[in-house]
A and B are shown apart, each in its own frame.
Chain A
Amino acid sequence: MKRLKNLLAAIVWMSAATSSANDFVPLDRAAATAVADPASHARPTIVALWSFECVHCKKNLKLFAEMAKAHPRLQLITIAAEPADDGLAAPLDRVGVTGKRFAYGDDSPEALAYALDAKWRGELPRTLLFDGRGTREAVSGVVAEAVVLRALGLQK
């Protein structure tokens, strides 16, 4: 009986995981403004901007997924700088990225980029780091764990 329960639970979990694969929230300007606002984040938060075609993004996503597991207080939010085509979730699922997943909605991509980070010029990966106490740091490219931990205020 217990085995059956476990099996059922596994099936439910797997189907949930499958459906969540395409479960991107379309990002609009209001959501972009909110997610980029330090006041929205009461705990250490990584907002990772990425795209399917970005070869350098995978390293950051893997690191952030590992960090999210190691630091229960850490919130990880990903934003694909493109609409959610089929298969967009694969690079996130592959490295075990959890947390809320956004993908660009119908608003002008330039308006969304501006709302997220007026200093961002489209290079990927781009990462917004919030310490949960009102500060925000933005960094382009592949990042080192120590840099991320410091910006998040999670340094030991």
Chain B
Amino acid sequence: MVMMTMAERATAGAGSEDGSAMTMKRKGSAGRLAAAVLLALGCATGAFAQHADHAAGKTAAARPARPELGTSAAFGPDGVLYAVSKDGQHVVLQRSADGGTRWDASVIVNAEPEAISADGENRPKIAFAPDGSVLVSWTRPLAKPFTGEIRFARADTGQGFGSPITVHRDRQEITHRFETMTVTASGQVVLAWIDKRDLEVAQRAKRDYRGAAIYAAVSDDGGRTFRPEVKVGDHSCECCRIAIANDVDGLPLMLWRHVFEPNERDHALAKLGSDGTPGAVARATFDRWRVDACPHHGPSLAVSGDGTRHAVWFNEKDGEGRVFYGRLKDGRVEGQRTVGGERAAHADIAVGGERVAIVWKEFDGERTQLRAEVSDDNGGRFRSLSLAATDGASDQPQVIRRGAELLAFWRTRNEGMKGYWLR
């Protein structure tokens, strides 16, 4: 969600007008390149069968199956919708030319099978390099509980996916998980994740350490190699997805659930410089949810052309757990309000020109509803939409962008992957 949105934003650039212009321009060169990539990928797939969510459900006759629906989608520079998800021990890529109604056969991203995280706050991510290469990241859980590695694979123009690499130099069997990905306006590939190396050091020294840390790695060559990772900030929450969005200058902003002293689970914001150096960590929300718990509920962030930082997040405030929308401005929140009802959850946000859209899911007592709010004036006024509903398990929804158009994307166990244009 957060991340795909990012991917699309990255492709188009962070600004609304600029972004659209860039997308249009790229449809010429990069679009053709992406088509070539896909052609090559298509050849590589052969008879790999389309994976049906229902089939996965049926294998669970003896024992309930974990609904590993974690999926990310983004529009490529060719205007086609791409989605990455998990099928057994493979990350698979699918595309849809009609905005999510029909999907092509899956393409395998990692030829060698490996463990993949794809439930709750975990899901593979997809983005596109300026040359049209397809970039995919995921978390590979390791044998010990809570541990993992951040994995990355790219499909060069005209080629299938190369062997995945582990992004970080630190190879301890510890937490490197919950990764997010963006491509900056200058074409750098940025991955950020939750990392417990500092917690491990503290624990060995019998020192207290709140939460985990955020680390990031930057690639200057389209994901072929990554610079050594850098710490963005200490004391993140342990298991909430990280939001990443390009600022108006094209550099990546990260928003994550943080553990402020003593145990306030609010949000923090930081930006990476053009040389990959992290800027200061600033408190972004002020709900003061004091709890020693895992909310499993990360934020989302989108930056409009005038620099407005639109955010949605979940917090408990005044005893009520709610989804909030607000604009993050110089260490305060402007226009904070609740989104949806008492059970609204896992909201995502994206911008396209003057349009701002929020999607979320909300259980109504019987079914899980997919709902949206859309603003046509950069977040001034919003109108509400009901998009879909399902009886079974469902993934977190996301909003993704194609130029100035916004699409809600949602995968459910019963209905599969679907897109809903937000107009």
- Chain A contacts to B: CB under 8 angstroms: 26, 51-57, 59, 82-85, 103-106, 108-111, 113-114, 118-119, 121-126, 140-142
* Cβ–Cβ < 8 Å partners of A106 in chain B: 57, 60, 64-65
Most buried by A among B292, B361, B368, B390: B292
Say yes or no: A125-B293 contact (C-beta < 8 A), given A84-B63, A106-B64: yes
Q: What bracket does the count of chain B residues touching chain A fall in?
A: 20 to 34
How far does the Cβ of B364 sit from chain A's closest Cβ, in whole Å?
Answer: 9
A122 touching B292 by the CB < 8 A rule? Answer: no
* B291 and A109 contact, CB distance less than 8 A: no
B contact patch SS: loop
Please pick, from A51, A82, A119, A140, the residue contacting B291 in the complex, using a CB distance under 8 A. Answer: A140
| Residues in B whose Cβ lies below 8 Å from that of A141 | 291-293
For the complex, is B262 an interface residue (Cβ under 8 Å from A)? no
State the Cβ distance, B140 to closest chain A Cβ, in Å: 15
State whether B66 touches A53 (Cβ < 8 A): no
CA distance A74 to B111 in the complex (A): 52
Among B292, B361, B390, B391, which residue has its beta carbon within 8 angstroms of that of A142?
B292
Within 8 Å by CB of A123, from B293, B361, B366, lies B293
Q: Are A121 and B314 in contact (CB under 8 A)?
A: yes
Nearest residue (CB) in B for A105 is B64
Given contacts A104-B64, A105-B64, A114-B363, contact A124 B293 (CB under 8 A): yes
> Which residues of B in the span 62-88 have a Cβ within 8 Å of any Cβ on A?
63-67
Query: Which residues on the A side are within 8 Å of B239 (C-beta)?
Result: 53-55
Which of B24-32, B228-236, B294-302 makes up part of the contact surface? B294-302
Kindly identify, within residues 368 to 405 of chain B, every residue whose CB is under 8 Å from any CB belonging to chain A.
Answer: 368, 390-394
A14, B57: Cα distance in complex, Å: 33
Per the bound structure, the CA–CA distance linking A105 and B65 in Å amounts to 8
**A contact patch SS:** loop
Q: How far is the CB of B146 from chain A (nearest CB, A)?
A: 7
| Subset of 30 A-B contacts with CB under 8 Å | A51-B294, A53-B239, A54-B294, A55-B294, A56-B293, A83-B64, A83-B65, A84-B63, A85-B66, A103-B64, A105-B64, A106-B64, A106-B65, A109-B393, A110-B393, A110-B394, A111-B363, A118-B342, A121-B297, A121-B316, A121-B343, A121-B345, A123-B291, A123-B295, A123-B296, A123-B321, A124-B294, A124-B296, A140-B293, A140-B316
Determine how close the nearest CB of chain B comes to the CB of A122; give it in whole angstroms. 6
B294:A56 contact, CB within 8 angstroms: yes
Whether B363 pairs with A122 at a CB distance below 8 angstroms is: no
Task: Tell me the B residues contacting A by CB distance below 8 Å.
Answer: 57, 60, 63-67, 145-146, 238-239, 291-297, 314, 316, 321, 342-343, 345, 361, 363, 365-366, 368, 390-394
Instruction: For A123, list chain B residues within 8 Å (CB).
Output: 291, 293-297, 316, 321
**Smallest CB-CB separation from B145: which chain A residue?**
A52
Among all A-B residue pairs, the 4 with the closest Cβ atoms: A121-B321, A141-B293, A142-B292, A141-B291
Considering only CB atoms, which chain A residue lies closest to B196 in the complex? Answer: A55
- Docked Cα-Cα span, A52 to B66, in Å, equals 13
Complex Cα–Cα for A128 and B393 (A): 24
A113-B291 Cα distance, complex, nearest whole Å: 19
A85: chain B residues at CB < 8 Å are 66
CB contacts (< 8 Å) of A56 on chain B: these are: 292-294
Which residues of A are found within 8 Å of B394, using beta-carbon distances? 108, 110
